[in-house]
């Protein structure tokens, strides 16, 4: 290989690694091992080492937000965030078909209201794996909250707890899972990315147990990093000031199987939530393996582009589960009516992602709380008008497919 070719190949691998959503270690490792990656003749994008690039700075303001529609937050967050950080958070993988489907699929569903049923203000409270929540809406696991706000995961944990609900804390947090747990009295689950070294994975699970997390959320769809075109074009690199402190630099496990589910169950007595389930078959196997809950998710369209929206995957999973374990659904929830549709189609709760980080960037913990307050107000109004008195009253018949 000529030195010019070698340089082009190295640049490509570096650029590809920049696009890694879940961790660049996979591609770095491939590069180190010299595995074949076909190199294009040139790369497009900013040079991350460009001296004119401004230093990374996440916003620091703490204030409540007046929100009409959670969808508005993205444009506002873009104005205050580092452009690379915004691209990393907002984008989906590849052509973003799944990202768009996550929203479009809600538009193909129609609510059937029950009028004249004599219902007063609905009760949104619910319980999930023994945790009492103010509403059936929780914070999904996301890495690197420091990209959005100086308070990082502490801000999200406080905002979520002040709203009376639960946070799923990611392995790829910028703060240690012990510090995050100590910073909040709110309910919390630990989302696990398995590490290549099984002993280190075991340590991570034991640390989560000791820190007081009440469930382990095992994400099954991100063992190879997702890749967003926007972050590749921008040459986004995680700032060194925001290390992912919990994995201790260990590479993620690159091949997962049901043996890994068994390993986690043998390691801890904590309930296991399987996150990333998208099919009835997977749900059946999850039940066979005795999982405690299922999270229907396509990772917010950030992993395998082309998979179905999570809301469309939900009914088949609910059909298999038949209420035996709770179902949480995430990916694309932005409005009270989205929550209404998900609960009607069999979810016990939904999880929200990007709006939380946008709220965090615009208002710190208060911004996160405002996001929850808006969604809670919308869902309360929607349930009230549609004649649904409580979370337990949702029925599949309340939502039908739109006649297109
Ligand atoms: C994520 N997601 C995610 N999931 C997970 O299991 N572990 C993780 O570390 C991350 N990291 C992460 C970072 C960022 C910036 C985003 C936006 C998402 C996926 C997340 O849990 C969830 O599946 C989606 O975010 C839900 O979609 P919405 O609500 O963002 O549309």
* Average pLDDT value over all residues in the chain: 89
Give residue 387's pLDDT.
96
Give residue 49's pLDDT.
57
In the predicted model, is pLDDT for residue 123 greater than 70? yes
pTM of the model: 0.90
Give residue 2's pLDDT.
47
CA 254 to ligand 1 center in whole angstroms: 19
Check pocket membership of 191 for ligand 1, CB cut-off 6 A.
Answer: yes
d(CA 211, CA 11): 41
In the predicted model, is pLDDT for residue 145 greater than 80? yes
CB-count burial class (<10 Å; 0-12, 13-18, 19+) for 301: buried
Q: Give the 3-state secondary structure of residue 26.
A: helix
Give residue 250's pLDDT.
87
Give residue 53's pLDDT.
63
Can you list the domains of the chain with their CATH numbers? 10-401 (3.20.20.70)
Check pocket membership of 99 for ligand 1, CB cut-off 6 A.
Answer: no
Q: Give the 3-state secondary structure of residue 329.
A: strand
Give residue 277's pLDDT.
98
Query: Is residue 365 a contact partner of residue 158, using CB atoms and an 8 Å limit?
Result: yes
Give residue 38's pLDDT.
35
pLDDT range class, residue 40, cuts 50, 70, 90:
very low
Check pocket membership of 89 for ligand 1, CB cut-off 6 A.
Answer: yes
CA 115 to ligand 1 center in whole angstroms: 37
Ligand 1 atom nearest to 332, measured from its CA: 31
Q: What percent of the chain has pLDDT over 90?
A: 80
Check pocket membership of 352 for ligand 1, CB cut-off 6 A.
Answer: yes
Q: Ligand 1 test: best mutation among 81, 142, 293, 347, most atoms within 8 Å of CB?
A: 142
Q: Across residues 246-257, what is the average pLDDT?
A: 91
d(CA 180, CA 157): 7
d(CA 247, CA 170): 10
Ligand 1 atom nearest to 221, measured from its CA: 6
The CA dihedral of 62, 67, 73, 78, to the nearest 10 degrees, is -50
Ligand 1 atom nearest to 354, measured from its CA: 30
Check pocket membership of 309 for ligand 1, CB cut-off 6 A.
Answer: no
CA 170 to ligand 1 center in whole angstroms: 9
Check pocket membership of 219 for ligand 1, CB cut-off 6 A.
Answer: yes
Parallel, antiparallel or unpaired: strands 349-352 and 137-139: parallel
251: left (phi over 0), alpha (psi -120 to 50) or beta: beta
CA 309 to ligand 1 center in whole angstroms: 14
pLDDT range class, residue 47, cuts 50, 70, 90:
low
pLDDT range class, residue 20, cuts 50, 70, 90:
very low
Q: Across residues 4-15, what is the average pLDDT?
A: 40
In the predicted model, is pLDDT for residue 226 greater than 50? yes
CA 148 to ligand 1 center in whole angstroms: 14
CA distances from 268 to 179, 224, 230 (A): 21, 25, 39
pLDDT range class, residue 52, cuts 50, 70, 90:
low
CA distances from 250 to 17, 33, 136 (A): 16, 16, 35
pLDDT range class, residue 51, cuts 50, 70, 90:
low
Q: Which of 16-25, 136-145, 380-389 has the lowest mean pLDDT?
A: 16-25
CA 389 to ligand 1 center in whole angstroms: 30
- Per-residue burial over 316-344, b if 16 or more Cβ lie within 10 Å, else e, is bbbebbeeebbbbbbbbbbbbbbbbbbbb
In the predicted model, is pLDDT for residue 113 greater than 80? yes
Check pocket membership of 317 for ligand 1, CB cut-off 6 A.
Answer: no
Q: Tell me the per-residue pLDDT of 80-103, one tens digit each, with 9 for 90 and over.
A: 999 999 999 999 999 999 999 999
Q: Ligand 1 test: best mutation among 140, 244, 296, 349, most atoms within 8 Å of CB?
A: 140
CA distances from 353 to 106, 169, 342 (A): 16, 12, 15
**Total residues belonging to the chain:** 404
Check pocket membership of 143 for ligand 1, CB cut-off 6 A.
Answer: yes
Query: Is residue 296 a contact partner of residue 317, using CB atoms and an 8 Å limit?
Result: yes
The residue written with tokens 């997977």 in the block is: 282
Parallel, antiparallel or unpaired: strands 272-277 and 216-219: parallel
Query: Is residue 16 a contact partner of residue 29, using CB atoms and an 8 Å limit?
Result: no
The residue written with tokens 């909250």 in the block is: 145
CA 353 to ligand 1 center in whole angstroms: 6
d(CA 66, CA 181): 29
d(CA 369, CA 162): 6
In the predicted model, is pLDDT for residue 292 greater than 70? yes
Check pocket membership of 353 for ligand 1, CB cut-off 6 A.
Answer: yes
Q: Ligand 1 test: best mutation among 160, 274, 300, most atoms within 8 Å of CB?
A: 300
Q: Tell me the per-residue pLDDT of 167-218, one tens digit each, with 9 for 90 and over.
A: 999 999 999 999 999 999 999 999 999 999 999 999 999 999 999 999 999 9
CA 42 to ligand 1 center in whole angstroms: 31
Query: Is residue 148 a contact partner of residue 174, using CB atoms and an 8 Å limit?
Result: no
Check pocket membership of 194 for ligand 1, CB cut-off 6 A.
Answer: no
Q: Across residues 356-364, what is the average pLDDT?
A: 98
Specify whether 289 is catalytic. Answer: no
Check pocket membership of 275 for ligand 1, CB cut-off 6 A.
Answer: yes
Question: Which is it for the CA torsion 322, 323, 329, 334, positive or negative?
Answer: positive
Q: Give the 3-state secondary structure of residue 56.
A: coil
Q: Which residues contact 144 (CB under 8 A, 6 or more apart)?
A: 88, 152, 172, 173, 174, 238, 242, 244
For 142-212, where are the alpha helices, taking DSSP H only?
152-162, 177-183, 198-211
């Amino acid at each position: 290989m000529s030195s010019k070719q070698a340089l082009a190949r190295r640049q490509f691998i570096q650029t590809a690694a920049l696009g890694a959503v879940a961790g660049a270690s996979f591609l770095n490792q491939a590069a180190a091992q010299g595995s074949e990656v076909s190199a294009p003749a040139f790369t497009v994008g900013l040079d991350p080492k460009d001296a004119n690039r401004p230093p990374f700075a996440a916003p620091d303001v703490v204030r409540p937000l007046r929100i009409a529609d959670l969808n508005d937050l993205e444009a506002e967050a873009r104005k205050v965030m580092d452009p690379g950080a915004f691209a990393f958070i907002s984008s989906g993988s590849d052509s973003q078909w799944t990202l768009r489907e996550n929203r479009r699929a809600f538009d193909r569903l129609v609510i059937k209201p029950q009028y004249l049923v004599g219902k007063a203000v609905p009760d949104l409270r619910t319980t999930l794996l023994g945790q009492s929540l103010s509403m059936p809406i929780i914070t999904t696991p996301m890495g690197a909250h420091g990209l959005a706000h100086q308070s990082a995961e502490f801000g999200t944990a406080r905002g979520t707890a002040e709203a009376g609900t639960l946070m799923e804390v990611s392995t790829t947090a910028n703060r240690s899972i012990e510090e995050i747990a100590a910073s909040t009295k709110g309910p919390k689950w630990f989302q696990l990315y398995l590490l290549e070294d099984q002993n280190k994975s075991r340590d991570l699970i034991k640390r989560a147990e000791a820190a007081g997390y009440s469930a382990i959320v095992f994400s099954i769809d991100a063992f190879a990093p997702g890749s967003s075109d926007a972050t590749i074009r921008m040459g986004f690199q995680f700032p060194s000031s925001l290390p992912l402190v919990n994995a201790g630099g260990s590479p993620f496990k690159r091949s997962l199987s049901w043996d890994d589910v068994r390993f986690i169950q043998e390691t801890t007595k904590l309930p296991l939530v399987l996150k990333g389930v998208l099919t009835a078959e997977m749900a059946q196997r999850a039940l066979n393996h005795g999982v405690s809950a299922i999270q229907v998710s396509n990772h917010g369209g950030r992993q395998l582009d082309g998979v179905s929206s999570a809301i469309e995957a939900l009914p088949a999973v609910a059909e298999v589960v038949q209420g035996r374990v709770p179902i949480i659904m995430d990916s694309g929830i932005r409005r009270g009516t989205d929550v209404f549709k998900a609960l009607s189609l069999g979810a016990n709760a939904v999880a929200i992602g990007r709006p939380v980080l946008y709220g965090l960037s615009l208002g710190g913990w208060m911004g996160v709380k405002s996001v929850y307050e808006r969604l809670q107000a919308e869902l309360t109004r929607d349930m009230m008008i549609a004649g649904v008195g409580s979370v337990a009253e949702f029925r599949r018949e309340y939502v039908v497919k739109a006649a297109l």
